[in-house]
Structure 1
């Protein structure tokens, strides 16, 4: 088996990160996570898996720990931004007012 280069390992990690961004972006477009409670579980699972991959990459020396933390922080910011935008747009809906 050929040795995996740092660049290839880093690119694989970036590809996994992009998959989570795609998941979040698709929810931004459809705004259906309120009607689909499984979304939170799916995204939490994806973030957890990515965090483990980042930990592994840091241990291998493929990724700096600060860079790994920034990747996760940026994803969490994107997710929180999506939720904030959704609730701001729908805060007057009866579902959120308890009616």
Structure 2
């Protein structure tokens, strides 16, 4: 069996994080993102899956705990930014301003 380099493992995990960000960015219905519980659950499930993948990679010793925590922290920061942008956009629309 071929061994996996830490660089490859971390790259694959970052690709998964990017996939989660794209899931949100590609959602056409901005209102659904901020109001739809089903969409929220999908994102939560994806985040939990990534958390488990990171945890497994750390336990295997393929990546360090710090690298895993940084990846998750970066993703949470990016998702918060996306949600804030959506909130601001919806707020502007509610106030009758085009964005």
TM tier, shorter chain? 0.7 to 0.9
The alignment's C-alpha RMSD in Å is 2.2
* Counterpart residue number, 1:87: 87
* Counterpart residue number, 1:4: 3
- 1:27-66 paired onto structure 2 within 5 Å: 27=27, 30-31=29-30, 32-34=32-34, 36-66=36-66
SS at match of 1:63: coil
SS at match of 2:51: helix
Using the size of structure 2 for normalisation, the TM-score is 0.75
Q: CA deviation at 1:42?
A: 0.7
Q: CA deviation at 1:47?
A: 0.5
CA contact (8 A) 2:20 2:43 kept: yes
Unaligned runs of 5+ in 2: none
Asked if 1:71 corresponds to 2:87, the answer is no
Q: 1:64 to 1:85 in 2, by over 3 A?
A: same
Higher RCO, 1 vs 2 (CA within 8 Å, ≥6 residues apart): 2
Using the size of structure 1 for normalisation, the TM-score is 0.75
Q: CA deviation at 1:8?
A: 3.9
Q: CA deviation at 1:82?
A: 1.3
SS at match of 2:22: helix
